[in-house]
Chains A and B, each alone.
Chain A
Amino acid sequence: MDYKIYILKVFLFLIYLFFGILNNLYAKDLISGYHFSEPSTQMIQDDEFLNPGFIWVEHGKALWEKKENVSDLSCNSCHGKVSNMKGVAIKFPKVNKSENFINLEQQINICREKEMKARKFEPESKNLLALSVLLYYQSKGLKQNIEINEDNKKWFDIGEELYFKKIGQMGLSCNQCHDDRVGNNLRAEKVSQGHINGFPSYLLRWSKIASVHRRIQFCNEQARAIPFKIFSKEYNALQLYLTWRGKGLEIETPAVRK
């Protein structure tokens, strides 16, 4: 009688070990959001012609050459060709010279206000997203590789804290889904690892490009929490943490996600 229970215990332990290892493997390998979507969605992303994100890229190319009235400057007149901007986008979000912590879209707006003497673009407006997509598209294929140094250590800590903080009516934190329950079904969706290597990406549900901040806002709304504002310091910090978390993943912008 005894040995039967003993065998059962060993068996259960083995099962536990097996699933534990499996879970760890799943969680430790970095998997891009691309592999969590259906083949029909992957097909749309792979084909440059089918991918609607390239509409924004084309739009951005036109904006890059467009000269502003007052200063008679375009992006092209300072930075040169767009292809020179390879690898620029992956350094954001960063602390700039005037000690502000900003992401790429804010940098575009700063550039417009200070150098080009033009109006800021509204957050989530088509023009701003088009330029942002264009710049991220230049570093497509490069690996996410952000350094944590003295400047951004403070923000990195805030981001990490936000990632593990329970929020909202449901009391959910980011890591509960995107680390512990990866690959499970959340109603109709597969829970991905929450990497942002494809952003700004084309979301099928809104049929338009969405920035990282807008996507995290949506995530917060789903968890019944009050979201922060777009371009807030908190989201920038979270974006920094997420970029560090996906270190080694290739940039896929413009990706197509659900």
Chain B
Amino acid sequence: MKKFKRNTLKTLLAFIVAVLSSKGFSNGNPYRDRFQSYRQTFRIEPNPEETQRIIKNIIGKKKILDNLVDLQVPDTAEDGNVVPLTFRINCTMQKDDYPKKVHVLALENPFPEVAIYEFFSEKGTAEVSFRCRMRTSSFIMVIAEMNDGRIGVNKKYVDVMLGACS
């Protein structure tokens, strides 16, 4: 009887731990991301599986909508060090209709995550332009996490003549 009780307790504990840990990881915080926040002094090769995992962690099982994200990038960039990028989220910015987080990913970089932008409700238009680095010619992906759970994805291919990582 005692042994049975202990076993049930063990399984329950394991279950709780499993649930908690899965929740922690699925919240758009892949572990590659975590060691991005430290100052690393080592070289890393790009890993396509890792990239797919990061994207999966951000999107999860939510529904993907088209026409939510406008993305402007040049077709060919002369230098990978400076690729001008502009995105715009088509939303009213009222109440729940605003992007909570917008991720920008360059899919074949050693660290695919380039930037995360956070917006707040009724504080202007969700349009940002900046310049990013790219290692080779690859897709640039913008994922918008709306506050009400919708997800917008847009990606475009950029030809890079000279890579940034050299």
Contacts and interface: CB of A to CB of B under 8 A. Distances in A.
B24 interface: no
Interface stretch (B15-23, B25-33, B77-85, B111-119): B77-85
A71 interface: no
Contacts of B79: 41, 204-205, 258
Contacts of B81: 204-205, 207
Interface SS of B by simple majority: loop
B87 to A, nearest CB: 16
Contacts of B78: 37-38, 40-41, 204, 258
Q: Among B78, B79, B82, find the residue whose CB has the most chain A CB atoms closer than 10 A.
A: B78
B162 A43 contact: no
Q: What class of interface size applies to chain A in its complex with B? A: 10 to 19
A44 B84 CA distance: 9
B128 to A, nearest CB: 15
Contacts, number: 34
Nearest to A204: B79
Nearest to B79: A204
Interface in A1-58: 37-41, 43-44
Interface of A: 37-41, 43-44, 188-189, 204-205, 207, 258
Given A39-B74, A40-B83, A43-B84, 20 more contacts: A37-B78, A38-B76, A38-B77, A38-B78, A40-B74, A40-B77, A40-B78, A40-B84, A41-B78, A41-B82, A44-B84, A189-B162, A204-B78, A204-B81, A205-B79, A205-B162, A207-B82, A258-B78, A258-B79, A258-B162
18 contacts: A38-B74, A38-B78, A39-B74, A40-B74, A40-B82, A40-B83, A40-B84, A41-B79, A44-B82, A44-B84, A189-B161, A204-B78, A204-B79, A204-B81, A205-B81, A207-B81, A258-B78, A258-B79
